[in-house]
Amino acid sequence: MKIINDNLMNGLAEEAKKSPMMRERILETKPTKDIYLAGGCFWGTEHYFKQIEGVAITEVGFANGHTENPTYKEVYTDQTGFAETVFVRFYPDVVSLEFLLQMFFKAIDPTSLNKQGHDEGTRYRTGVYYTDPADLPIIEKVFAEEQKNYEQLLTVEKLPLQNFYTAEEYHQDYLDKNPDGYCHLPLELFEFAKKAKDNKRNGEDLRQKYIGDSASMQD
């Protein structure tokens, strides 16, 4: 099983975001945690999470499929079982997993099966894939809270990470390289992510700060 090259998993957050070359250097020992998030097209999902304070590294790829070393073209056929997924490494002393998952739900329609925006197929299914079993209670808590907002059952997967393969380089930081490129998420959502803070770290609740309906933001 390929997860992520250990060298890539470290590095100064800002420098790593600016330069893919920095991902190959180990420059930081600050404690981090990892989560893998499938939110539809990974171009927009990665760009969204890159805006959030406390996110150190992002990488797009393919998770929980049944072939080895899939290419984007192979995954696009919906015959490999993979979901377009974003690896997120974050600093837990700056941003919590709970906060990141709350932000994740702001960027998806959690009742839409295999479809986000105009993108449709099993590769665009939504999911939260974890590598640390200790994270499961937090994940289940957020899922339970989100379910209260919908009459329909959530269709978001909640599973251990089975495998993850990094996508081709041209998919990495796609919207940084192509500012006018396709994205299923609205620009307003990126601005929201940029301004969002894990206010529970400061004694406030994210939900008290968030104004507006995330569903309308995706229209």
The backbone region for 137, taken as left when phi is positive above 0, alpha when psi lies in -120 to 50, beta otherwise, is alpha
How many Å apart are CA 205 and CA 36, to the nearest integer? Answer: 24
- A 10 A CB-CB count for 81 gives 17
Q: Is 183 an active-site residue?
A: no
Q: Is the dihedral of CA 162, 169, 51, 108 positive or negative?
A: negative
How many Å apart are CA 45 and CA 104, to the nearest integer? Answer: 9
Can you list the alpha helix ranges (DSSP code H) found in 121-203? 136-147, 174-177, 187-195
Contacts by 141-144, CB closer than 8 A, 24 or more apart: 141/98, 142/98, 142/101, 142/102, 142/105
| Nearest C-alpha neighbor of 193 from the set 181, 210, 208, 177 | 210
Q: Which of 4, 8, 41, 108 is catalytic?
A: 41
DSSP code at position 167: P
Determine phi and psi for 35, rounding to 5 degrees. -150, 150
Three-state SS string over 59-96 comes to: EEEEECCCCCCCCHHHHHCCCCCCEEEEEEEECCCCCC
> Catalytic residue positions?
41
